[in-house]
């Protein structure tokens, strides 16, 4: 309206008279415009040119122009310089104030942006007073805020030096405050986006808009977001995303969804790497200590291809963390696997390997763990007739058959040993050195080792529900797909244990209740270990955030 007012020489009064528009009336009208704008009304100045019919030539056709393309005056509008003729000596009629209230969800979305470390900058063609009032309504500013360094008219900001412009933008960034630019032109919007992306500020920018004049800024932004309902085709073509509902709150939801997708991708990687590291560690420990192989190739293939698959897939359906929008944005240069993340992979993977080998060793040599060999959790080691060995005998199994080695640990001239068993379906009588070399002699130990590996990986899938939040906060049942996937994986494991031909194929035997308790005893610590690592990670994140705030 102030632009219309500046082109007027006369003003129409309430009684129908026309008088000259002097300075007092101009000041009164500007005050009225400011008052309306401060109430968040979009103002339109109204004026007319009574002398159009007396303009020379075809310009007189505009006197009754109704805006239709069929009107003879329509073509006249293309005449160069016509705006100078038409928009001179106007008679000011008044100001119309229109209210376009923001959606109810916007204020909450602005608050979510603030807690998530996302700054909101409003760039609008509205009057400065209108823009400030609307920004106050939506919670970008508070009523008592000093807006002298946060609110600028576009042409005034553009007239500043670049150094000063960067200073204002940088000060607002460091304080975490929003900004508003009013009466902005298309080029100005594009320049603001480019400054935010520049080396001085290094921001990731998302620009929203709906009009043709927004297209340059939408194209320049890292993420251009156009309106799907009110947006022009030009704006939509220039954008990377189109909002189907034209709702600012949807952008905030998209930020949350994007963070959740990224976290789920990391959860999948964390689960698969830590589990596979565990398998590699178990094989490495076995080879390094000279122990018999606890897991054979077909068992490892089954775990990797079948048992791990359902939980890994289900992790893609993890809901967002409870505090996902309370964390600052990650840097665009942040590595997918940080140093701390890598350490967690190794620690968890080491335990997986140790537990898998540990229960295998316990079956043969319970004395290694300070046990007498019988009645631990109801498991009688050696109660089924299999010989209990010392650790030296177990780790020296490759010398079986050489002169001077026997199962009792004494040195004799025996070249092999045999044992009798009460469990004929589990052990073959008279296997000799096949007690170590073949699958028949170690079916039970191998079954325990495989069961620990499967159980640990199921529990490790629960650990992957959240990178930092405890299972006491992110309860397992928040992802029902993961619970179902774990059920499927356990069902597949029980199938190969109890279907005779499959058990024979995988060289395993069924376990009784007490042996399953032993499996759980070795498996459950992976939960406790990851809980400690999560707690330490939360502490480091809190210290990092506190240091950043102190620096700001």
Query: What is the DSSP code (8-state) at residue 146?
Result: -
123: part of which helix (H) or strand (E)? strand 121-123
Q: What angle do CA 145, 150, 151 make, to 5 degrees?
A: 100
Per residue of the chain (552 residues), give pLDDT as tens: 888 988 898 999 888 899 998 888 888 888 888 888 888 788 899 998 887 766 666 667 777 778 888 887 787 777 777 777 788 888 999 999 888 788 888 888 898 888 888 899 999 888 888 888 889 988 898 888 888 889 999 999 999 999 999 999 998 888 888 899 998 888 999 999 999 998 888 888 999 988 888 999 999 999 999 998 888 899 999 999 999 988 888 888 888 888 888 888 888 888 888 888 888 888 888 888 888 888 888 888 888 887 888 888 888 888 887 778 877 787 777 777 778 888 888 898 899 999 999 998 888 787 777 766 555 666 666 556 566 777 776 777 666 655 555 544 433 333 333 333 333 333 333 345 656 654 555 788 889 999 999 999 899 888 888 877 888 888 888 889 989 999 999 999 999 999 989 988 888 889 888 889 889 989 999 999 989 988 888 887 777 666 655 555
> Cβ neighbours of residue 448 under 8 Å, at least 6 residues apart?
359, 360, 363, 511, 515, 518, 519
Please give the pLDDT value at position 478: 86
Please give the pLDDT value at position 367: 77
Alpha carbon of 183 to those of 152, 207, 390: distances in Å?
Answer: 9, 17, 86
Please give the pLDDT value at position 427: 31
Please give the pLDDT value at position 272: 84
Instruction: Read off the pLDDT of residues 100-151 as tens digits, 9 standing for 90 and up.
Output: 788 888 888 898 888 888 899 999 888 888 888 889 988 898 888 888 889 9
Please give the pLDDT value at position 271: 83
> Cβ neighbours of residue 269 under 8 Å, at least 6 residues apart?
336, 337
Please give the pLDDT value at position 454: 92
Please give the pLDDT value at position 56: 61
Please give the pLDDT value at position 424: 34
Both tokens of 283, joined, read 């094989």
What whole-number distance in Å separates Cα of residue 535 and Cα of residue 343?
14
């Amino acid at each position: 309206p102030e632009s219309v007012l500046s082109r007027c020489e006369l003003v129409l009064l309430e009684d129908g008279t026309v008088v000259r528009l002097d300075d007092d009336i101009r000041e009164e009208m500007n005050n009225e415009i400011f008052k309306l704008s401060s109430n968040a009304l979009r103002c339109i100045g109204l004026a007319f040119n009574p002398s159009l019919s007396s303009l020379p030539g075809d310009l007189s056709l505009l006197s009754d122009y109704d805006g239709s393309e069929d009107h003879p005056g329509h073509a006249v509008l293309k005449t160069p310089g016509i705006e100078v003729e038409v928009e001179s000596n106007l008679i000011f009629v008044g100001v119309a104030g229109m209210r376009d209230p923001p959606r109810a969800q916007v204020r909450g979305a602005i608050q979510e942006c603030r807690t998530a470390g996302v700054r909101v900058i409003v760039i609008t063609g509205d009057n400065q007073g209108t823009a400030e009032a609307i920004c106050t309504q939506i919670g970008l500013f508070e009523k008592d805020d000093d807006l002298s360094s946060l609110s600028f008219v576009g042409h005034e900001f553009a007239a500043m030096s670049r150094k000063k412009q960067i200073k204002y933008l940088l000060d607002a960034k460091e304080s975490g405050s929003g900004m508003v630019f009013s009466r902005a032109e298309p080029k100005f919007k594009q320049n603001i986006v480019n400054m935010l992306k520049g080396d001085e500020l290094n921001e990731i920018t998302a620009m929203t808009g709906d009009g043709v004049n927004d297209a340059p800024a939408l194209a320049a932004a890292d993420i251009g977001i156009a309106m799907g309902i009110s947006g022009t085709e030009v704006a939509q073509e220039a954008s990377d995303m189109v909002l189907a509902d034209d709702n600012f709150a949807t952008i905030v939801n998209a930020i949350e969804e994007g963070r959740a997708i990224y976290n789920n991708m990391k959860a999948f990687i964390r689960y698969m790497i830590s589990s596979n590291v565990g398998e590699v560690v178990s094989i490495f420990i076995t080879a390094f200590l000279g122990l018999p192989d606890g897991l054979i190739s077909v068992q490892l293939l089954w775990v990797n291809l079948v048992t791990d698959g359902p939980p890994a897939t289900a992790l893609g359906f993890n809901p967002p963390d409870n505090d996902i929008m309370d964390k600052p944005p990650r840097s665009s240069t942040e590595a997918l696997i940080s140093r701390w993340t890598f350490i967690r992979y190794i620690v968890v993977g080491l335990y997986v390997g140790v537990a898998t080998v540990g229960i295998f060793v316990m079956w043969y040599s319970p004395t290694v763990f300070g046990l007498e060999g019988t009645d631990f959790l109801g498991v009688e080691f050696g109660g089924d007739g299999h010989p209990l060995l010392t650790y030296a005998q177990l780790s020296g199994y490759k010398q079986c058959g050489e002169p001077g080695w026997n199962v009792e640990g004494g040195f004799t001239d025996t070249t092999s040993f045999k044992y009798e068993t009460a469990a004929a379906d589990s052990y073959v009588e008279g296997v000799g050195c096949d007690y170590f070399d073949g699958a028949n002699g170690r079916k039970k130990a191998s079954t325990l080792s495989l069961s620990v590996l499967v159980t640990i990986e199921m529990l490790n899938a629960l650990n992957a529900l959240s990178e930092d939040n405890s299972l006491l906060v992110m309860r397992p049942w928040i992802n029902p797909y993961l619970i179902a996937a774990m059920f499927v994986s356990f069902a597949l494991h029980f199938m190969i244990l109890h279907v005779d031909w499959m058990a024979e194929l995988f060289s395993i035997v069924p376990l009784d209740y007490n042996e399953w308790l032993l499996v759980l005893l070795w498996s459950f610590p992976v939960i406790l270990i990851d809980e400690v690592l999560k707690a330490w990670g939360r502490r480091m994140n809190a210290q990092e955030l506190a240091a950043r705030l102190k620096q700001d």
